[in-house]
Structure 1
């Protein structure tokens, strides 16, 4: 078995504060025996405006946020999936919302740029990520010591074709900052559906609580097994969940209900 952990945060606009919170929670996860740790989307900063994303954006391969993730992965001897951070893009005024993976030596092992950009509008709240973010265009998986891992971010969860494009994975990760409004009705249902239809473990790390900016995120960081059962969950506020990937369980689900082999399209 392999132990994995997901970290829930209530990130502030201040990068240094969030780095210290992430450091403490990653150390806690590693202390509980986690081999792989997942941070949430936007963990380095949730600010007041899109301009702050540009201000905090780093060049790929260089910057204090990336240095922190590399150093922390190496120090703890873990695989660290860095939720997302803002990376400089070629399009003026916009960034990439990127998920970086570091191996247990602190080496960058994969990069995924969020493909699907969130847009939502009601009388009381509205979001349009495309105003400040360039969407990615590449499906990304990587090989961890225990098997293949598929990378997705937040709004990607609503597009099952992305997860089919991964092929057979042992684990799918979903760092997120789901709004409270959409999260309370769709988050758990969509996560469990992705686990069931892909017969894979799903590890989701969320932002979860009332942020300093006034924004409220849904939280409910969780680990779900290939049968769709929730193995661990943290409803709100910062913290860590830890759970095991049982590969006998994974093989048994796929053997008893070989849906992946029955695919026609």
Structure 2
């Protein structure tokens, strides 16, 4: 595990099979663990050495009181313990898209875990970007009221490729993805629980854009369907290659998708479109300083 300032590593390992688990998570944590485990076993039986589950694999609960009644610290979380044992049994890298983990009396972390084939925690990532909004119709969403945002971008080295970690709403912040790619990630994970409305509008285009911008594989395991709490999520888990091509896509129902990941494809695409190498940083000049708004490079040349 490392943060995103780590030096880049080659992405030239052997091809491997990756699988995504799509769920319709309910309120009962251990029932969700059982359903996820069934699908993870199915993916491993198909030869997947890396399996990813969606955001909020453990529970989908909007009531703050009910959520905190079910939470545990990482050290005693029963879902995490069960999944660690499963990763060791199947000898796979198991990426839990996220679990709600207690980090204080009234605070939780929306935390992803990458579990090694021996069951050890290879990496953990707390979702950085919180979805806080007041809509014109008066609906209010304040993810930060329950969850503490993360502060670090995180990388995890798989045997074949470096993995960058993101969760759901992070998808809308391309600077995070560029930082991960510049630090050597050839595959970026975006487990999510996109709503049906925003998913229909933005899911495919944003995920394909992140893959194209970074020349990376993008893998997004999703929640899909109508949940116990009434929330509707979009589904359509996706595996996208560095050229932006969709290699595998789910529908709305629970299940798995899988595809071969070839790390050499990352180097090939980045060689054709070297945007990670050609990018320039710009400083914004205020209108009151120059009389007009324009951009200049750090060297002082007008953009």
* 1:163 aligned counterpart, secondary structure: helix
List alignment gaps of at least 5 residues for structure 2: 1-14, 282-303
Q: Which residue of structure 1 lines up, in the alignment, with residue 64 of structure 2? A: 50
Larger Rg computed on CA atoms: 2
Whether 2:260 is the aligned partner of 1:244: answer: yes
Q: Moved runs in structure 1, 4+ residues, more than 6 A?
A: none
Q: Which residue of structure 2 lines up, in the alignment, with residue 253 of structure 1? A: 269
- More deviation in 251-260 or 223-232? 251-260
d(CA) in 2 for partners of 1:103, 1:183 = 31
The alpha carbon displacement at 1:126 in A equals 4.2
d(CA) in 2 for partners of 1:169, 1:253 = 14
Q: 1:145 aligned to 159, 183, 187, which one?
A: 159
> 8 Å contact 2:41–2:90 — kept in the other structure?
yes
* 1:142 aligned counterpart, secondary structure: strand
d(CA) in 2 for partners of 1:107, 1:125 = 41
d(CA) in 1 for partners of 2:259, 2:228 = 30
d(CA) in 2 for partners of 1:106, 1:122 = 46
* 2:106 aligned counterpart, secondary structure: coil
Q: Which residue of structure 2 lines up, in the alignment, with residue 103 of structure 1? A: 116
Q: Which residue of structure 1 lines up, in the alignment, with residue 187 of structure 2? A: 171
Whether 2:17 is the aligned partner of 1:3: answer: yes
* 1:190 aligned counterpart, secondary structure: helix
Q: How well do the aligned residues superpose, as a CA RMSD in angstroms?
A: 1.4
List alignment gaps of at least 5 residues for structure 1: none
d(CA) in 1 for partners of 2:66, 2:43 = 29
Q: 1:62 aligned to 55, 76, 85, which one?
A: 76
- More deviation in 159-168 or 77-86? 159-168
- Give deviations 1:65-105, integer Å, cap 9, x for gaps: 11111011111110011111111224x41211100110011
- 1:199-238 matches, cutoff 5 A: 199-238=215-254
Q: Which residue of structure 1 lines up, in the alignment, with residue 93 of structure 2? A: 79
The alpha carbon displacement at 1:48 in A equals 4.3
TM-score (normalised: structure 1): 0.96
Q: 2:32 aligned to 4, 15, 18, which one?
A: 18
The alpha carbon displacement at 1:165 in A equals 1.8
